[in-house]
Amino acid sequence: MKRPVLTYMLALGSAFHSRTSEGCALNDDDVLVVHGGTPLKGEIRVRGAKNLVSKAMVAALLADSPSTLFDVPAISDVDIVRGLLELHGVRTSIDKDRSLRMDPTNVVTAGVDEINVHAGSSRIPILLCGPLLHRLGSAYIPDLGGCNIGGRPIDFHIDALRKFGAVVEKLPDGMHLTAPQRLQGIKYTLDYPSVGSTEQILLTAVMAEGVTELRNAAVEPEIIDLICILQKMGAIIKVNTDRVIEIEGVDRLSGYRHRPVPDRIETGSWAAAALATHGEVFVRGARQVDMMTFLNVYRTIGGAFDVDDSPGGGIRFWHPGGELSPAALETDVHPGLMTDWQQPLVVALTQARGLSIVHETVYERRFGYTAELRQMGANIQLYRDCLGGTPCRWGRRNFLHSAVIAGPSKLHAADLQIPDLRAGFSHLIAALAAEGTSRVFGVDRFITRGYEDFDAKLAGLGANVERP
Ligand code: EPU
């Protein structure tokens, strides 16, 4: 966290920019009606992290025997990866208690047309490259999807795969890869500690011949958990100091049984909702160790929390009364403040007295959703400058990636079109905190990607919401 730089912000006052409409049509079949103004009170439970579970499912492909992943959330991103695994011959089944069994004994090449059904649905398919090259010698990857929060290039992935020895060919609707011979370990330095690229290299290096040394790797808790899974499978991976990971390739990996890290993004989202609505939410399953950076921010802005670390425990978040305080925040790779916590926290900061600054350093276009918050009465200005202590990649390149929030603002109801997953949950929080009845469009398309059963969770917390 940095202290607000008020004089600097005032000098930049004329740099205000509004977002242009992205032209999404409102769809009456995919809407949640929110009668705002009721504090959220009660308990919800989080399961395994979306951003680990989907990668753990890909890892199962590397094994020559079945794997079981426990506590898998019922979200559409899991369904997409499951569909892709099944297309490649992996037999899957899921129990009522959400244990997912994956049997990759008979992996087969899938049809391009069938794979293309998943085009544009998620970013996970790119991670199938290494496992499919090891199992089949070739892979077809559909065009990727994912949230529109920046350019989201895959240049690191492709560059590393080529260095491993893969031949990569871009096709009109996707990408075809082959491994003319066994992939070979590499020495690789990422230009930026990208989560997906680190996972790509891990999932490829574990069965490549020889040693891979990855420098400037991402070390998010979900990556460390993926490494734990790979270690259970038989991989040899050393996480050294200074973001250096060393992987010794092995000839075979076997199935795993694993309980994933809890979803720290969902936890932070409900915590911010508790704060913005003056409520109290116990997030069962949340773990302090994954949330430490978030918890510091939460306390700084005036939120209260209490950790119950007994088995089956969680974290209780609440608004203790009084006014919230502003903060200067900067998103960063782990152990910094997660970019996915940014949007829910910004909604809470609209209720803080004074000026808050948020510098988004991970994605170049992650403030689009603030246009809707302004429409609801929030006072948020966007800047192209790096309004934080660390000059980032986006300042020099003219992206609106810093925000100044002046609060507190009384939010009023509006029709909101969700632009992406995390922004969508923030729109929901804003609608819950606002006075009056809002309509939030795009909830099924976007929010179900990452939030299990959110209608029921909202109802359980006493929110006044309905499907028309
Ligand atoms: N980047 C490149 N080249 C690459 C790959 C990444 O320049 O080849 C850049 C990106 O453009 C971005 C930065 O590196 O500016 C970070 O991207 P990263 O690769 O870390 O992100 P990701 O793997 O695509 C995952 C999560 C995101 C989360 C980020 C950052 C999944 C499926 N997605 O994305 O989660 O925001 O890491 O922690 O794990 C979400 O859950 O809503 C979500 C967007």
**Average pLDDT of span 28-39:** 93
Q: Which atom belonging to ligand 1 lies closest to the Cα atom of 196?
A: 23
- Ligand 1: centre distance to CA 424 (Å): 18
Atom 24, ligand 1: residue with shortest CA distance = 196
Determine, yes or no, domain membership for 251: yes
pLDDT category at 29 given cuts 50, 70, 90 is confident
Q: What is the pLDDT of residues 201-220, one digit of tens each?
A: 999 999 999 999 999 999 99
Determine, yes or no, domain membership for 1: no
From 50, 51, 156, the mutation candidate for ligand 1 (largest count of ligand atoms within 8 A of CB) is 51
Q: What is the CATH number of the domain that holds 270?
A: 3.65.10.10
Q: Are residues 152 and 267 in the same domain?
A: no
Beta-carbon neighbour count of residue 284 at 10 Å?
16
Write down the pLDDT at residue 20: 28
**Domain endpoint, select from 258, 293, 309:** 258
- With 80 as the cut, is the pLDDT of residue 279 above it? yes
Q: Is 27 annotated as a binding residue?
A: no
**Average pLDDT of span 323-347:** 97
**Average pLDDT of span 331-335:** 97
Determine, yes or no, domain membership for 227: yes
294 to 74, 198, 231, 271, 291: CA distances (angstroms): 25, 23, 29, 10, 5
Is there a contact between 325 and 303 (Cβ–Cβ < 8 Å)?
no
- Ligand 1: centre distance to CA 333 (Å): 10
Q: Which atom belonging to ligand 1 lies closest to the Cα atom of 146?
A: 44
Pairwise CA distance, residues 377 & 396, whole Å: 30
pLDDT category at 110 given cuts 50, 70, 90 is very high
Q: Are residues 146 and 277 in the same domain?
A: no
Atom 23, ligand 1: residue with shortest CA distance = 196
Q: Are residues 245 and 336 in the same domain?
A: no
pLDDT category at 13 given cuts 50, 70, 90 is very low
Write down the pLDDT at residue 147: 80
Determine, yes or no, domain membership for 316: yes
- With 90 as the cut, is the pLDDT of residue 390 above it? no
**Average pLDDT of span 131-154:** 91
Pairwise CA distance, residues 31 & 468, whole Å: 8
Q: Are residues 146 and 70 in the same domain?
A: yes
Choose among 458, 442, 431: nearest CA to 42.
458
From 155, 192, 422, 447, the mutation candidate for ligand 1 (largest count of ligand atoms within 8 A of CB) is 192
The parent domain of residue 424 ranges over 6-46+262-466
Tell me how many domains the chain contains: 2
- Ligand 1: centre distance to CA 146 (Å): 10
Q: What is the pLDDT of residues 76-96, one digit of tens each?
A: 999 999 999 999 999 999 999
Q: Is 362 annotated as a binding residue?
A: yes
**Average pLDDT of span 263-276:** 98
Q: Are residues 340 and 244 in the same domain?
A: no
Structure tokens at 116: 């293309």
- With 50 as the cut, is the pLDDT of residue 5 above it? no
Q: Are residues 83 and 139 in the same domain?
A: yes
From 50, 175, 195, 418, the mutation candidate for ligand 1 (largest count of ligand atoms within 8 A of CB) is 195
pLDDT category at 394 given cuts 50, 70, 90 is very high
- With 80 as the cut, is the pLDDT of residue 22 above it? no
Q: Are residues 55 and 144 in the same domain?
A: yes
Write down the pLDDT at residue 149: 84
**Average pLDDT of span 297-313:** 97
pLDDT category at 380 given cuts 50, 70, 90 is very high
Q: What is the pLDDT of residues 446-465, one digit of tens each?
A: 999 999 999 999 999 999 99
pLDDT category at 21 given cuts 50, 70, 90 is very low
Atom 10, ligand 1: residue with shortest CA distance = 152
Of 24, 129, 147, 386, catalytic: 147
Of 113-122, 129-138, 163-172, 266-275, give the lowest mean pLDDT range: 113-122
Atom 28, ligand 1: residue with shortest CA distance = 340
**Average pLDDT of span 232-247:** 98
Q: Are residues 233 and 361 in the same domain?
A: no
Q: Which atom belonging to ligand 1 lies closest to the Cα atom of 124?
A: 32
SS (H, E, C) the chain: CECCCHHHHHHCHHHCCCCCCCCCCCCCCCEEEEECCCCCEEEEECCECHHHHHHHHHHHCCECCCEEECCCCCCHHHHHHHHHHHHCCCEEEECCCCCEEEECCCCCCCCHHHHHCCCCCCCHHHHHHHHHHHHHCEEEEECCCCCCCCCCCCHHHHHHHHHHCCEEEECCCEEEEECCCCCECCEEECCCCCHHHHHHHHHHHCCCECEEEEECCCCCHHHHHHHHHHHHHCCEEEEECCCEEEEECCCCECCCEECCCECHHHHHHHHHHHHHCCCEEEEECCCHHHHHHHHHHHHHCCCEEEEECCCCCEEEEECCCCCECCCEEEECCCCCECHHHHHHHHHHHCCECEEEEEECCCCCCCCCCHHHHHHCCCEEEEECCCCCCCCCCCCCCCCCCEEEEEECCCCECCEEECCCHHHHHHHHHHHHHCECEEEEECHHHHHHHCCCCHHHHHHHCCCEEECC
- Ligand 1: centre distance to CA 173 (Å): 22
- Ligand 1: centre distance to CA 196 (Å): 6
Q: What percent of the chain has pLDDT over 90?
A: 87
- With 90 as the cut, is the pLDDT of residue 23 above it? no
**Average pLDDT of span 362-379:** 96
Q: Is 240 annotated as a binding residue?
A: no
Determine, yes or no, domain membership for 443: yes
Write down the pLDDT at residue 266: 98
Choose among 444, 402, 455: nearest CA to 421.
444
> Of 167 and 26, which is predicted with more confidence?
167
Length of the chain in terms of residues written: 468
Q: Is 340 annotated as a binding residue?
A: yes
- With 70 as the cut, is the pLDDT of residue 160 above it? yes
Q: Which atom belonging to ligand 1 lies closest to the Cα atom of 218?
A: 20
- Ligand 1: centre distance to CA 362 (Å): 8
- With 50 as the cut, is the pLDDT of residue 18 above it? no
**Domain endpoint, select from 207, 239, 258:** 258
Q: Are residues 461 and 397 in the same domain?
A: yes
Determine, yes or no, domain membership for 20: yes
**Average pLDDT of span 227-235:** 98
Write down the pLDDT at residue 396: 81
From 362, 394, 401, the mutation candidate for ligand 1 (largest count of ligand atoms within 8 A of CB) is 362
**Average pLDDT of span 256-267:** 98
- With 80 as the cut, is the pLDDT of residue 265 above it? yes
Q: Which atom belonging to ligand 1 lies closest to the Cα atom of 199?
A: 23
Q: Are residues 27 and 88 in the same domain?
A: no
228 among known catalytic residues: no
Ligand 1 binding pocket (C-beta < 6 A) is 50-51, 123, 147, 150-157, 192, 194-197, 218, 265, 339-340, 362-363, 421-422, 450
Q: Crossing angle, helix 195-205 and helix 155-164, to 10 degrees?
A: 20
Q: What percent of the chain has pLDDT over 70?
A: 94
What's the pTM value of the predicted model, to 2 decimals?
0.94
The greatest distance separating any two alpha carbons of the chain, rounded to the nearest whole angstrom, comes to 65
**Average pLDDT of span 150-171:** 95
Determine, yes or no, domain membership for 205: yes
Q: Are residues 383 and 284 in the same domain?
A: yes
**Domain endpoint, select from 195, 229, 258:** 258
Q: Are residues 31 and 91 in the same domain?
A: no
Q: Which atom belonging to ligand 1 lies closest to the Cα atom of 154?
A: 8
Write down the pLDDT at residue 121: 83
The mean pLDDT value of the chain amounts to 93
Beta-carbon neighbour count of residue 18 at 10 Å?
11
Q: Is 50 annotated as a binding residue?
A: yes
- With 50 as the cut, is the pLDDT of residue 250 above it? yes
- Ligand 1: centre distance to CA 321 (Å): 36
